[in-house]
Amino acid sequence: MSMAADGPDQPAHGKDQGPGRPPGTPSRREFPPAPVNPPLPPVPTTRAELAAIVDHTLLRPEATSDEILKLCADAARYGVGAVCVAPTHVFLAAASARRDSGGRAPGTEPAYAVASVVGFPHGNHLTAVKVEEARLAVADGATEIDMVIDLANAMEENWVAMEMEINQVRGALPDTVVLKVILETAMLPDATIRSACRAALAGGAEFVKTSTGFHPAGGASLRAVRAMHSAVGGRLGIKASGGIRTASQALAFVQAGATRLGLSGTADVLAEMPTAP
């Protein structure tokens, strides 16, 4: 795929290439090969084991505070690993997570992590906007950030720009905050998915994630998760998200390499799992 050359009339705040990119810097880069046969994650056998790798998600733009409170109450009851909400709901979700820790000793971890989306859902925000959005989300209590990449960088195979964007957001976050990058894998061929994952690794992300759930191309697929695992399995976490509605689907994604699952229908999925092995 070709990409337009940087011209002298490029707007200062147009296509964001990241600071400090010298003229003539190639937009593509080669990555070292992934390890052969990276290890697959363990497959959950019980409801609790599956819940522990779930990001219980509510990202509808019209979601109300009452719905967020219910999401969090359900998260505590199910024992999920995290909730995933929009930036405007992070403060409420983080307060709920602290409250839902219940009788735990003071200073212990909240009942679940709070993830905030950034650059959501289209990804074509300026990098500086994503940096500030992520910083504010962390200030409000987010401990995980799910950032949509500039999708054009993946379409153009502009891995330098993608890596720079991720690196700038990563650099604005405390080391304890987990950064996941959303690739919208439904619109990408396997080879591009693998290269995008390697750029995410080089940029400092901790996870790669399939989908926002809002793109018309679709959500998570086993094909995409297998490509992600072949590129960065064992080195980055892999989050499958978008269209996972049954326990059998959830387990299939783990068997393909997913280490985290984004679910909005968490109750239905967990209800299909046994409570004991």
Query: Catalytic residues, which ones?
Result: 146, 209, 239
Q: How many other CB atoms are found less than 10 A from the CB of residue 222?
A: 15
Long-range contacts for 31-35 (Cβ within 8 Å, ≥24 apart)? 31/159, 31/195, 31/198, 31/199, 31/202, 34/194, 34/198, 34/230, 34/231, 34/232, 34/233, 34/235, 35/233, 35/234, 35/235
Helices within the chain (DSSP H only): 47-51, 65-78, 90-99, 127-139, 151-155, 159-171, 190-203, 222-232, 247-256, 266-271
Cα distances (angstroms) measured from residue 257 to each of 39, 48, 87, 227, 233: 8, 19, 28, 9, 7
* Residue 144 to residue 101: CA distance in whole angstroms: 18
Instruction: Fill in the amino acid letter for 60.
Output: R
The CA–CA distances, whole Å, from 259 to 52, 196, 238, 251 equal 10, 18, 5, 10
Q: How far apart are CA 214 and CA 224, in angstroms?
A: 17
The answer, yes or no, to whether the previous bond of 121 is cis (omega within 30 of 0) is yes
Which of 106, 108, 117 is CA-nearest to residue 82?
117
With beta carbons less than 8 A apart as the criterion, state whether 165 and 191 touch: no
